[in-house]
Amino acid sequence: MTGDAAATPLLSCRHVGKSFGALAAVRDLSFDVGAGEILGIGGPNGAGKTTLFEVISGLNPATKGAIVLDGQDITKHAPEQICHAGVARTFQLNAGFDSMTARENVLVGAYFGRNNRAVPTLRAGRAAHEAADAALEMLGIADRADKVTGKLPVLDRKLLMMASAMATKPKLLLMDEPVGGLTAREVDRVMDAVRAIKAAGVTIILIEHVMRFLVRLSDRIMIMHHGEKIFEGLPTKLLDDRTVVDVYLGQGASERLRSFMESTHG
């Protein structure tokens, strides 16, 4: 899907705000994400992007507004309820259990990500094992499944985080700076992974500073600044927006991005 969010959006945020004491990290933010869409979010450091993910995923609930997923108001739900409702997330820094194998990490997502579980009876059944194996396969790391997570290279750890999220079988995947610190070739590898996730029918919101990644993958882009939306629209319109160029991209980055867009969009 390109252009506007679908008539009935998968995710709808209305007047969402999040304050930490006197600091309004997210202010009166409204936007929709259509099923199957990739919404890219950019903006300067401290703009409130990660806080928005904290709020949607319930780790740090909104102080204002409403968040509706597939018709269900999840604004005040606990993180595990939101995960069970179909929202999964990856983090800026590697999250995972270092001493466990890659497969065991993904199995945690498959086991706990769908339903409430009683920890004392922890025993992953066949469905969880199948979901874990399918996620490892989808992210192209099945051959590293028995490696200890803490010893995996940075790219594999990022793919593993994505596999753990996918093992929860989400409707919506939130990805926070998935290519930070990667080489250009590794960025291409993650792009392929994101395309595979989209092709599987998962809706995606991704935060990223690497503009090539953001512009290539996103159906629509939202730029935040001081907790507010300063742009929402097609990637090709980004450079026409004076405020975006002035407060976020700067002249040099804009020119580089323009020549990159001209070479990829005709």
Ligand X SMILES: Nc1ncnc2c1ncn2[C@@H]1O[C@H](COP(=O)(O)OP(=O)(O)OP(=O)(O)O)[C@@H](O)[C@H]1O
CB of 163 to ligand X, least distance (A): 23
Residue type, 41: I
CB of 234 to ligand X, least distance (A): 22
Nearer to ligand X, 138 or 175 (CB): 175
Other Cβ atoms less than 10 A from the Cβ of 151: the count is 11
Taking the alpha carbons of 110, 111, 112, 113 in that order, is the dihedral positive or negative?
A: positive
CB of 243 to ligand X, least distance (A): 16
Please give the structure tokens belonging to residue 197.
């996730």
Nearer to ligand X, 47 or 102 (CB): 47
| Contacting positions for ligand X (CB under 6 A) | 20, 23, 25, 43, 45-51
* Alpha-carbon span 103 to 147, nearest angstrom: 8
CB-side neighbour CA atoms (13 Å) of 216: 15
**19 with 25: CB under 8 angstroms?**
yes
Those residues whose C-beta lies under 8 Å from the C-beta of residue 159, and which sit 6 or more positions away, are: 139, 140, 141, 189, 190, 193
Nearer to ligand X, 45 or 121 (CB): 45
**56 with 255: CB under 8 angstroms?**
no
* Main-chain phi, psi angles of 193, to 5 degrees: -65, -40
DSSP state of 237: G
CB of 181 to ligand X, least distance (A): 13
Nearer to ligand X, 25 or 155 (CB): 25
CB of 25 to ligand X, least distance (A): 3
Nearer to ligand X, 51 or 105 (CB): 51
**219 with 37: CB under 8 angstroms?**
yes
Nearer to ligand X, 56 or 204 (CB): 56
Question: Exposure pattern of 198-218 as b/e (b: 16+ CB <10 Å)?
Answer: beeebbbbbbbebbbbbbbbb
CB of 223 to ligand X, least distance (A): 11
DSSP state of 234: -
Nearer to ligand X, 24 or 110 (CB): 24
CB of 253 to ligand X, least distance (A): 15
